[in-house]
Chain A
């Protein structure tokens, strides 16, 4: 009886996901493999090959951003999870605080900071350094990604690490494990689901972003998201090619995610996304 009702409650979400997730995905696939007249074609999908360098650049920059996020986020999440309750809540608040502000606004702020006459260069100028070319580079794009998506790395890591019982660590220490061993044999394996969720949640939006590269990359560092944007709102309006690129991007992300899943093997899957 109970299960009958609970499935009833999930109905709104089922309908929602059918209309706004499954159907659009199907449309993307259909558009990618058809011509304007509706005939089947592979032309658009094979045309995506011409943009390989854009694709590689997107994956490359997103990967760098993800690694940086992991390097910054992991220690922070660990330290946070070992703090007393009040400090934990304060830290969490500080991480969430920037997210209250609009995404565009935050990225726009970086424009003023990194500009040639911007805040950082003015600061360097006081010490007789610079000016440095910071904006409109790939480094600025990576910075934008790290800044905007870092909370998405910290939060899943933090939530999984609070579940690691202090007694587990103490037990390992009692059994003679040194700090390094405790970390590599206990903490990392137990936080693996958090790591893979964090990587997914940073990598996926980074690889498909278009506004960060436009604002901080100066338009000359085209990413795959910009390319898709061009097909739908650009000069040569071509939703078919746009869908084909989106499809390739989706397959690429799926591939990355399944490689990532290999790491988890048969371990606990709690807190994981895929």
Chain B
């Protein structure tokens, strides 16, 4: 009996291992010689990317990092972050050194202005030729010297077609519609939240005008009574489970949600929206710049880029990779909206410190704004505190007197 059990265990292990080995690690590249330079030198690069943002070999897909290691002999140390701000804080505090980071547009601009990332040597990245120029040369990096686009996408409204009229979904006003009180979710980061309010009022998403920002904040305060919660990735659960009806979110994630719950639909409002681009950069203090550029080049290989896009679900700036996608995806209007829609989009740029401080202050004001808050709260609080301490002292005195009397 015992032998049988151990045999079964061995078999299970074997199956487990073989299924791991099934994940694909070989890939066809444009110029194989290019990748042989560091073969056998035993070097490693550290990559800092968003969570769930690279094809990792699950479901028999390409394991990008393993394929790179196999091809070049360079070891990849891979870690992930959750927000641009987290990435920034990590780099700024200087505790860690990375060779590859993937920040979004406005963070790229900020890092350029603070000299936290360095210009790329494009000679080492021949595959940049596959990239679409409108993502290659952008407002945040006009010469394309510092960044190579990895993915892009838009922000739009996800709504439940069972409860919300499709007609209404063509405007950001839907998020301010009193009929859907308590059914609306909102971003829980200031930049995305304010950009929607600004756009709805007809201003630029990158406005630095204090009055415009204050006006946007007022409109967000009006909206607060209708908002169920300020959330980020919880949107997946809440929309799929029909806990809420309307939420603004990223197009790539909308595809995932509409797959899960067919009642959901996605629309890009007519006022225009934000188009974000996540770009690959090399930090100024990178230790292995050339190997990092080789990694960037590898990510731009059509086959690799297509595998990543398949996995992530966002849109690709890589024209050759786009050709490799299946037709259904190519035609998907959520991922690849018409040029007309794209013309109305705006990319985030880096805001001056004064503006981002103001925005942060208004954001806290918005979140801590309490309709029921009475101006008497603080005086009452103080009074209670004083009465409390007087009470204690009186009690002590009384106790002492009692003791003295005894």
Contact = CB atoms under 8 A, between A and B. Distances in A.
- SS of B interface (majority): helix
Contacts of B228: 136, 218
A234 B243 CA distance: 27
Given A235-B190, A235-B363, A259-B389, A133 B182 contact: yes
Contacts of A11: none
Interface stretch (B51-59, B83-91, B119-127, B311-319): B83-91
A219 B367 CA distance: 7
B359 A233 contact: no
Interface of B: 83, 85-86, 88-89, 92, 182, 188-191, 224, 227-231, 241-243, 353, 356-357, 359-361, 363-364, 367-368, 370, 373, 377-378, 381, 388-389, 392, 396, 399
A235 B364 contact: no
A274 to B, nearest CB: 16
A237 interface: yes
A52 B365 CA distance: 11
Contacts of B357: 236, 238
Given A51-B368, A117-B243, A236 B373 contact: no
A135 B364 CA distance: 21
Given A133-B182, A219-B188, A236-B360, 19 more contacts: A51-B368, A53-B373, A57-B368, A117-B241, A117-B242, A136-B229, A218-B228, A219-B230, A219-B231, A227-B368, A230-B360, A232-B89, A233-B83, A233-B85, A235-B189, A236-B353, A236-B356, A237-B88, A265-B396
B46 to A, nearest CB: 21
B229 A235 contact: no
A57 B359 contact: no
A243 B358 CA distance: 19
A180 B274 CA distance: 68
Contacts of B89: 232-233, 237
Interface string A94-128: 00000000000000000000011100000000000
A53 B379 CA distance: 11
B373 to A, nearest CB: 6
Contacts of A227: 364, 368
B243 A54 contact: no
Interface in A197-226: 214, 218-222, 226
Given A219-B229, A220-B227, A262 B392 contact: yes
A263 B376 CA distance: 28
B337 to A, nearest CB: 27
A56 interface: yes
A220 B359 contact: no
Contacts of A52: 378
A265 B241 CA distance: 55
Contacts of A230: 360, 363-364
A230 to B, nearest CB: 7
A84 B28 CA distance: 73
Contact of A56 (B241, B367, B378): B378
B107 to A, nearest CB: 10
B175 to A, nearest CB: 15
A259 B368 contact: no
Contacts of A238: 357, 360
Contacts of B373: 53
Contacts of A237: 85, 88-89, 92
Contacts of A53: 368, 370, 373, 377-378
Nearest to A232: B89
A222 to B, nearest CB: 4
A92 B273 CA distance: 56
The 4 closest A-B pairs by CB, nearest first: A219-B230, A218-B229, A236-B360, A222-B367
11 contacts: A51-B368, A115-B243, A220-B227, A220-B229, A222-B364, A222-B367, A230-B363, A234-B85, A236-B353, A236-B360, A237-B92
Contact of A259 (B83, B191, B356, B388): B388
